[in-house]
Structure 1
C-alpha cells in the first residue's frame, strides 16, 4: 500500500473515531438531560409524570402486595400524597400512606364523580389504569392542596368592599398558623390589597403566565397557590402557603439542566479534540520531526539515523522492525536509508577520489619533472663553454633530449585523451573488422619489439571467423598498452597468451590477455584504472605514460565494450575485453 493510501486510511479512521466519540458524548449528554428532565417533571407534576413510571417500575409480590420504586415513593412523601390500588370491583388491595378520611371501597360511578369533581373529595385525585402481569388494576394518587383547602375554609368568612379586604380575628389566626398570605388582584394582575404578605420577596403584580406557573408548579417555588375569581368585582383572590422553605424559586428549572449539559458537552468535545490533536501530533508528527532531524543531520554530513537513549534508531524496535507509528512512513524511511547509504558511499568515494587525485597529481608531476630535468641537464651541458663536445656526443645528447620530449608529448596526449574519454568528447568511428586477422597482425608487430624479448607472446585465434565493430587505431593502442603492461612489468621469463573467443551473436566476441607473471593484489586491481597506475618511472622505461590503463578502459567503453581484470599475487593476471550486445540492442 502506498504512503498516500496509508495516510488516507489513518485519517479516515481518526475522523471516524472522532465522530463516534462525539456521538457517544452527545448520547451520554442526551441521556443525562432526559434523566434530569424526567426528574424535574416528576417534581413539577407527579400526578401526570410520576404515576406512569410508578406503575412501570412496580412489582406484584406473591401475597398480592406491590413493591414500588423507593425513589418515587420519596417524591410521594415529599408531596404529602398517598396511593391506593383497586381491583376490578373497586376494593383496595394495596395502599401507601392513605389518610383516615379516604374510603377503602368505591362504588360504581363514584370514582368517576370524584375524579371529575362532581362529588366533593378532600384531596386532588389522579387515576391511572394499567395491565400488569396479565391483571388490570387501578392506581389512585391523592394529594392535598394546602392552599386550596385554606382558601375553601376562609373564603366564605372574608369580605371585600371598596378595594378593602376585611379579615376577622379567627381567620387571621388561621392564616398566620398556616404561614400563608392573601393577595387581591385587579383584572390586570396588579395587587389591590393583601393580608400577611411578607415585606420582601413577593411580587405586587402578576402576568397571566406568572400566575399559571405559580398555581401549576408549586414545587418550583416551594409555595402552594390557590385562586378564586370574583365575577362580581372582576378580581382574583390569591392564597399562598409556603410548603418548603428550603426551595429557591426558579423561573425555568430546565435551564439549570440544559445549560450545564451544553457547557459540559462543549468542554468534553474540546478536551477530546485536544487529546486527539496530541495523539495525532505524537502519531504522525513525531515521525515527521524524526525524519526532519535526520535530513538536518544529512545536511551536516552525519549519515546515521538519529538514535534514542538505548542507541537504537528511534524508528525501529530492537528486532529491527518499524515501530507502529513509523510503519505508515515505511516507504519514506526506506528511501531515506537508501539515501543515507548512497550519500555515505559518495562521501567515501569522494575522499578516495581526492586521495587518488593527489597521488595522480604527484605522479604526473614526477613523470613530467624527470624527463624535463634530463632535457634541462643536457641543454646546460651543451650550452656551457667549459667543455668542448664532439659531434657524436652532441648527437647522443640530442637523441636523449628527443626521447624525453617524445615521452612528455605522449604523456600530455594521454592526459588529454583521458579527459576527452571521461567527458564523452571522444566518439570513435567503428567499422566491421575481422578480429582474428587484426589481432594477429598486432601481436606479430609486438613480437618484433626488442624491449619485450623473444618468444614471450602466444596468439590463439578463435576456431571460426570473428567479426566486430571496432575503431582500428584505438584498438591498436589498446593492444599495445596491454601488451606493454604484461611484458614490461613482469619477470623476463613470463609469457603472455592472447586468445579470441566468438560470441553467441554477430559482432560479439571476447579477447583475453593472460600472463603468468607476479600478479596484483585486490587493492591494486581496484585502483588500476582510477589512480593511473604506472609500474615504472621514466628512468626505467619510456614506453608508458602512467595513463595507459585509464586510456585503455576509456577506449574500450567508447567502442561499447567493457574490461574485466582477474589477478592474484603470484598467479598472474587475466584481462578480458568483452563486446556483448544487450538484450535491448538485439531486439
Structure 2
C-alpha cells in the first residue's frame, strides 16, 4: 500500500475507533440513566397531581385545594405546594419544614431526577388558572433512603469526562507521536545533528512492538529520513576528512613547490650575479637542473587539475579503438629509462599479438604509467615487475591487465588508503616525493573507461594490480546511438 493511502487509512481507522468508543460510552450512559430513572419511578405517588390541579380553586385570587384532597394528602403522608410564575410558594398543605418555599426551574429538575439528595420525591405540573401560570409540586418522603444512586450518577458523569480525556490523549499520541517524531528528526537534521532522535532509539525490543503499527504507517518516510541522515552524516565525515587531507596535501605541496623553487631561485641568483662569469657547460648544467624542477612543478599542478576533473566528470575522453599491446610496450619503454628502474627486472606477457580496446590512449597510458611507476619507485633493487595482458574468452568478454611485483608489499593501512587522494604511503623504504595523486588518477581513468581495478598485496611478498576492461562496451554504445 502506498504511503498516501496508508496514512489516509490510518487516520480514518483511528477516527472510526474514536467514534465507536464514544458511541459505546453514550449508549452505556443512556442505559444506566434509564435504569436509575426506573428505580426512581418506583416511588410514584398514589395521588395524581393533575387531578389535584383540577380540584384547585381560587379564593380571593389565592389558590387552594378541596378538603377531600387534603385528607388524601394526610393519609398518604404527602404534601402539595403551589408556586407562582417566579417559583415562590403561594399555597402549601402538610409541607415539612425542611422543604423550601421557593424553587428555580433547575432545582425542580434536579430534585425530580435525584430524589435521594433531599430524602423526598417530587412531581410537578403546570397549568393556567384565571390567567395565572401556576406550578403544582407534589411531594412524598422516600420510603427507602438510598443516596447511592445519586452519587453513582455523579461518579459516572465524572468517569465519562475522565474517560474522554484519556481517550483524547491516547488517540492524540497515536496520531501525533509519529508526526512529532518526524518533525523532531527533520529539526535535528536542520541543526546538523545527523542521527535518529534519541527518544525513539531508547525503546528496547519489548517496547517497540507497541509502537510498531503507528510508526510503520510512515515506514517509507522513516526509511527515506534514515537514508538521508546516513548520507548527510557520511558526507559530513567525508568532507571533514577531505578538508583534513587537503590541508595536509597543501602543506606537502607547498613544501614540494618550495624545494624546486628555492633551487631555481638559487641558480637564477648565481646566473644573474655580476661577481661570477660562468662557462657554457656550467650554464647548461644549471639550466638542466632548473628545467627538471620546472617539469616537476608542472607535473604537480597537472595532477592536481586532472584528479578534480576526473572526480567531477568534466574531462572530455575521446574513445578510439587502439591496440592495448602496443600502448603497454610504449609505457614500459618510457619507464625503463627512469633512474629508479635501472636495478629492476621487467617482463611483459600477452596471449595475443593485438588486443583492441575503445580508449583514450593518452589517459590509459597515464593510468598504466602511474601504476607501473608505483611498483618501480616503492620497491627495493632487483624487484621483478611483470605485466600480463590477456583477453578472456568467457562471457562477458573482458581484457585483463595484471601488474605484479615480488617487492616489499604493503601494510593494511596502505592497502586501504592507496587510492585516496593525497595519500603517499607509510613505508620506510617508499619514495614519498610524489604528489599523492598518482594512484587516485589511475583508478579514476580506469573507471571512466568502464573498467575496474583491484589491489592484492602482502607485506614482504609483493603486490598485484588487476585491471579489467569490458570489450566492445563503447563500440556497442556508439552503434546503438547511431541506430
CA distance in 1, matches of 2:90, 2:292: 136
Change in CA separation of 1:493 and 1:327 when aligned onto 2, cut-off 3 Å: farther
Q: Structure 1, residues 128-185: CA drift from partner, whole Å, max 9, x if none?
A: xxxxxxxxxxxxxxx9xx99xxx9xxxxxxxxxxx9xxxxxxxx999987779xxxxx
Which structure would you say has the larger Rg? 1
> What displacement does 1:562 show?
2.7
Q: Check conservation: 2:246, 2:422, Cα contact below 8 A.
A: no
Among 309, 317, 320, the alignment partner of 2:204 is: 317
Alignment match, 2:173: 282
Instruction: Assess, with a 3 A threshold, how the Cα gap between structure 1 residues 546 and 42 changes in structure 2: closer, same or farther.
Output: closer
Q: 1:533 to 1:576 in 2, by over 3 A?
A: same
Deviation at 1:500, TM superposition (A): 1.1
* SS of alignment partner, residue 509 of structure 1: strand
What SS is found at the alignment partner of 2:341? coil
8 Å contact 1:426–1:558 — kept in the other structure? no
Mapped to 2, the partners of 1:16 and 1:486 lie a distance apart of: 73
Counterpart in the other structure of 1:359: 248
Please point out which of 168, 182, 185 is paired with 1:294: 185
Partner of 2:148: none
Shift of 1:8: 4.1
- After superposition, the C-alpha distances for 1:293-316 in whole angstroms (9 at most, x for unaligned) are 3333333333343445xxx823x3
- Partners of 2:409 and 2:458 within 8 A in 1: yes
**Unaligned regions of 5+ residues in structure 2, if any?**
61-65, 75-88, 94-120, 126-136, 143-152
Q: Distance in 2 between matches of 1:12 and 1:457?
A: 76
- Aligned pair in 2 of structure 1 residues 358, 542: CA closer, same or farther (>3 Å)? closer
2-structure distance, mates of 1:489, 1:398:
29
- Following superposition, the deviation at residue 369 of structure 1 comes to 1.1
Secondary structure of residue in 1 paired with 2:400: strand
Stretch of structure 1 that moved more, 369-378 or 409-418 = 409-418
List aligned pairs for 1:239-254, cutoff 5 A.
246=141
Alignment of 1:303-342 (within 5 A): 303-307=194-198, 313-314=201-202, 316-318=203-205, 322-330=208-216, 331=219, 332-342=221-231
1:128 aligns to what? none
Q: Which residue of 2 aligns with 1:371?
A: 260
Q: Report 1:172-321 matches (<5 A).
A: 200-201=91-92, 246=141, 272-307=163-198, 313-314=201-202, 316-318=203-205
Number of aligned pairs? Answer: 397
TM-aligned CA deviation for residue 353 of structure 1? 0.9
Q: CA deviation at 1:377?
A: 0.5
Structure 2: how far apart are the matches of 1:376 and 1:498?
41
For residue 375 of structure 2, the aligned residue among 454, 471, 486 is 486
Q: Could you say what secondary structure the match of 1:288 adopts?
A: helix
For the aligned residue pairs, the C-alpha RMSD in angstroms reads 4.4
Residue matched to 1:211: none
User: How big is the shift at 1:418?
Assistant: 2.2
Give yes or no for contact 1:459–1:497 (8 Å, CA) kept in 2. Answer: yes
- Measured after TM superposition, the shift of residue 512 of structure 1 is 1.1
| 8 Å Cα contact 2:343/2:382 also seen in 1 | no
Q: Does residue 25 of the first structure (1) align with residue 25 of the second (2)?
A: yes
Q: CA deviation at 1:407?
A: 1.9
Name which of 542, 551, 561 aligns with 2:441.
Answer: 551
1:498 aligns with 2:384: no
Establish whether residue 572 from structure 1 lines up as the match of residue 458 from structure 2: no
Contact 1:3 1:328 in 2 (8 A): no
Report the CA distance between 1:284 and its aligned residue: 3.2
> d(CA) in 2 for partners of 1:327 and 1:222?
56
After superposition, the Cα gap between the structure-2 partners of 1:477 and 1:243, relative to the gap in structure 1 and judged at 3 Å, is closer
Aligned with 1:478: secondary structure?
Answer: helix
From the superposition, tell whether residues 479 and 11 of structure 1 become closer, same or farther in structure 2 (CA, over 3 Å): closer
Contact 2:351 2:391 in 1 (8 A): yes
TM-score, structure 2 as length reference: 0.68
- Cα displacement (A) at 1:9: 4.4
